Structure 1
Amino acid sequence: MKAVHLFLAFFRVGILGYGGGPASIPLVHKEVVDKYKWMNDEEFSDVLALANTLPGPIATKLAGYIGYRVQGLRGMLNATLAVMGPTIVLMIVLLTSISSIKDQAWVQGMTEAVVPVVGVMLAVLTWQFLKKSKSGLGWTVTLVMAVVTGLLMEVAGIHPGIIIAALLIGAIFKKDEKEGDAQ
C-alpha cells in the first residue's frame, strides 16, 4: 500500500505542479508532511535546503530522496517516475500541438491565471517556514537573516546554494562550539 501512496503522492505533484519546481514544493510538502506524514516540517525543511544546493529539478530530487526514505530503492524509482511521468507525457502531447493553439486566448489566460495561484502557494509555505524559524531562532534573528539573505541573492547576485552551504557550515561550527563548551 505504501508503494501506491508514494506513487499517487508524487503523481499528483507531477500532474498539478504547473509552473516548474517552485510551484511543486508546496504540493510535495502537503503530500509528504500533511497527508502521509512521512516527514515533519523540520525534516522537510532540511531536505528542501539540501535539495536546493544540488543541481537539477527540485521536484525530482525531492521525489528521489523521499521515495528512498519511505521505501528504499524501489520507492525512489517509484516516486521519481511518478513525478516525471506526467511531464513527459504532457510534453510529448502538448509540444506536438502547441504551435496551433499557443495564440488562443484561453491558453494565454490559463498561463496568466496560474501565476498568482503559485505565488500564494509559495507565500503560504514561506510563512510556515518563517513561523518555524521564529520558534527556533526568534523573530529578530529570523528577520535579520531573511533580509541579509534577500540582499545577498538579489543585490549581490549570490546563488542561494552558496548561501545555504555557508549557513550549514556555520551551523556545524556553532554546534561544535556548543559541544566543546559542554565538555
Structure 2
Amino acid sequence: MTSSIENQIRFLTEKVETLTAEADIRRVVSRYMLLCDVPLPEPGMTTENRIGAIVDLFSDDATWEGVGSYYESQFGFSSGRAELIKHFQGFFHPREPEMLLNCHYLTSEHITVDGDRAEGKWVHFQPWIFSDGSSVLRSSRLFNAFKKVGGIWKMSRYRTENVFIAPLTPGWAENIPKESVLSGTRAVG
C-alpha cells in the first residue's frame, strides 16, 4: 500500500512540476511580447531598461534568429547577451517612419517540458502601424527553447519564421494611443 501511495505522490509531484513549468514559460513569453509592444504598456521605462528587461528573459548563451528567406535577411542571427542587446537596440532605435503601434497576439500554443529543459511553439500575429500611414499585419511561427537557470525559466532559443506579411489599407485603425496607461499607478477603487 505504501508503494502505491508513494507512486501516486511521485506522479502528482511530476504533474505539478510540469504544470508549473508551463505556466512559468508562458509568463516568460508573455512578458517578452509585452516588452516588445509599442507603445510600451509600462510607463516611464527607458529604452535601455526595456532592452535590459527583455534580455534578462534569456539565458546568457541564448540565440535569437529569423529563419527562412524573408526573416533570415530581415532579422538575422544573434547569440549571447551582447549580441541580443545589439539586436534589440537596433529594433528600438528611433527611425523614420516612427513605429506607432506593434501589438503581439499569440495563439496555437504547444509547450513540452522535459525536466529543466522545454520547447514551445506558437503562431503569432502583430499589426505594425507607422507614422507615414503605412501598416502591415505580420504572422510568424515561433520555435523557442527554454532552460532553467538558477531555478528560473529563461529562453535559450528564440526562432521565428514568416508565415505572411499583409499590407493594410492606410487608416484601417483609429484612435491609436501615443502611450499606454493600463499599467499606470492609478488606484483601484
Which TM-score band applies after superposition, normalised by the shorter structure? under 0.3
TM-score (norm 1): 0.27
Q: Which has the higher helix share?
A: 1
